[in-house]
Amino acid sequence: MNLVLDAIAWILDPTNWEGVGGIPQRLWEHLWISAVILLIAAAIALPVGVLVGHTGRGREAAVTVSGALRALPTLGVLSLFALWLGIGLRAPIPALVILAIPPLLAGAYAGIESIDRRIVDAARAMGMNERQIVGKVEVPLGLPIIVGGIRSATLQIIATATLAAYVADFGLGRFIFSGLKTRDYAEMLGGSILVIVLALVVDGAFALTQRLVVPAGVRATRFTELRSRPARPRAAVG
């Protein structure tokens, strides 16, 4: 536990909180770069995912692409881009965007697909056009799953941004790599603790959002479903 105390002492050390390369600066870098990457990746993946989910076209392709991208080793992609674009911020950004796309894409089409087709048919029968169906029915109903995709993408970005400090001078990962280089375990562990806390706080915020975005009507039916299921086993049907 001494190791942990050393790391906490490192985190609390006021000299680590000031100037260039201090904790506030690194934290800020980590946050804004993650946010920018999330925005870029979401702008690409979410519309495509929603379109795939709505039309059902290109579903196989979307599944294959998001599956294949998941198998890509993040460190390899980062290294390759670093070699092409040089050490610095230019390399990690495209690499991180590519790695954030699969969960966003999967969340978007799975969210739309999860909706009962009869609800969509009903919306169409009531005279809604395709744009209204997507905007007023499918997206709101699929939102919990779509936000789930954004949640995993964000965690992926925060994790990979930590690793990206290997090829660029930014983010909380810097503490880990500089600690590794100088064999300063307190710094490495301190950096790691900061990254873990950041990830858990962001994850918690998303968990909360995921609950809040469930439309009120859906929440009511879900509740009754949950309650009626164990009370009436399906034995009567068969």
Q: Which parts of this chain interact with another protein (CB under 8 A)? A: 1, 3-4, 70-80, 82-84, 116-118, 155, 158-159, 162-163, 166-167, 173, 176-177, 179-180, 185, 188-189, 191-193, 195-196, 199-200, 203, 207, 233-235, 237-238
- Is 32 within 8 Å of 198 (Cβ atoms)? no
3-state SS class at 161 = helix
Going 160 to 164 to 166 to 172, the CA torsion angle's sign is negative
Q: Within 13 Å, how many C-alpha atoms sit on residue 188's CB side?
A: 11
Q: CB 199 → another protein: shortest distance, Å?
A: 5
Q: CB 131 → another protein: shortest distance, Å?
A: 26
Closer by beta carbon to another protein, 111 or else 173: 173
Residues contacting 145, CB < 8 A, separation 6+: 107, 110, 111, 114
How far, in Å, CA of 142 to CA of 49, rounded?
A: 12
Closer by beta carbon to another protein, 126 or else 205: 205
Closer by beta carbon to another protein, 137 or else 167: 167
Q: CB 196 → another protein: shortest distance, Å?
A: 5
Closer by beta carbon to another protein, 61 or else 83: 83
- Is 15 within 8 Å of 9 (Cβ atoms)? no
Closer by beta carbon to another protein, 216 or else 237: 237
Q: CB 106 → another protein: shortest distance, Å?
A: 12
Distances (CA, A) of 179 to 73, 106, 186, 188: 24, 36, 8, 5
Q: CB 47 → another protein: shortest distance, Å?
A: 26
DSSP 58: T
- Is 140 within 8 Å of 215 (Cβ atoms)? yes
How far, in Å, CA of 59 to CA of 70, rounded?
A: 17
Q: CB 215 → another protein: shortest distance, Å?
A: 20
How far, in Å, CA of 109 to CA of 48, rounded?
A: 8
